[in-house]
Amino acid sequence: MYLMLLYFSAILAEIQVTFLPVTVGAVLYNHAEIPKEVLQMANQKHDLVEYPIQENVRLESYWRDDVGGRGPAASLYVYDDEIMRFDCFGGDNGHCHFNLRQTRGRRWMYPEGSFQDHIQQSLFDLRTNLNFCLQTHQDERVQEVQIEHGILEQAAQQMEAHLLVLADKLQQNTA
């Protein structure tokens, strides 16, 4: 058994992990070379409002302005893990991430539309796809969470109002 462990340790020591280069803005980095300032620019939240849903569950709405995009956004957290993120960036840039840590930021795209269209799509996704995101999460605690839908709906309506205000400010500034 000891010799087998030594053998596997030797094999593991030979394995090298290779990360593909990452583009941040117009600059191409290897993962180990990404400056701390660039990493801190990711998912910058402004005008953050939190909506507690129940123990260990919260919804946040905020203005996002960083290398990943610019516009109204919202996130739903369970046990401080971002289960869904709604990036309502308008045009063909709106999308929803799910189980971010687990899927490494994978997302589904929204149809081309306005900020308001993407906000409405995010509400649909929150109401319709949240249970899927919870049930497919790798953490059993997250899978077992039963969302209090009445409180979630109240928070979703407040989130919508906040995101619409943020979208209106953006459109007023570009008009």
pTM: 0.74
19 and 78 in a single domain? The answer is: no
pLDDT surpassing 80 at residue 102: yes
| pLDDT (0 to 100) of residue 174 | 64
| Residue-wise pLDDT tens digits, 111-121 | 999 999 999 99
pLDDT surpassing 90 at residue 124: yes
What is the total count of domains within the chain? 2
- Supply the mean pLDDT for the chain: 81
| pLDDT (0 to 100) of residue 85 | 97
The percent of residues above 90 in pLDDT, for the chain, comes to 61
Nearest CA to 52 out of 72, 85, 33, 80 is that of 80
pLDDT surpassing 80 at residue 95: yes
CA atoms within 13 A on the CB side of 99: 15
pLDDT surpassing 70 at residue 1: no
Residue numbers of the domain that contains 96? 42-174
Tell me which residue has tokens 């953050």.
48
66 and 17 in a single domain? The answer is: no
pLDDT surpassing 90 at residue 130: yes
123 and 63 in a single domain? The answer is: yes
95 and 149 in a single domain? The answer is: yes
| Residue-wise pLDDT tens digits, 140-169 | 999 999 999 999 999 999 999 999 999 998
pLDDT surpassing 80 at residue 87: yes
Distance CA 79, CA 130 (A): 15
70 and 147 in a single domain? The answer is: yes
Question: Would you say 136 and 146 are in contact if contact means Cβ atoms under 8 Å apart?
Answer: no
Please, which pLDDT band fits residue 127 given cuts at 50, 70 and 90? very high
67 and 147 in a single domain? The answer is: yes
Does 68 or 59 have the greater pLDDT score? 59
Question: Would you say 71 and 64 are in contact if contact means Cβ atoms under 8 Å apart?
Answer: yes
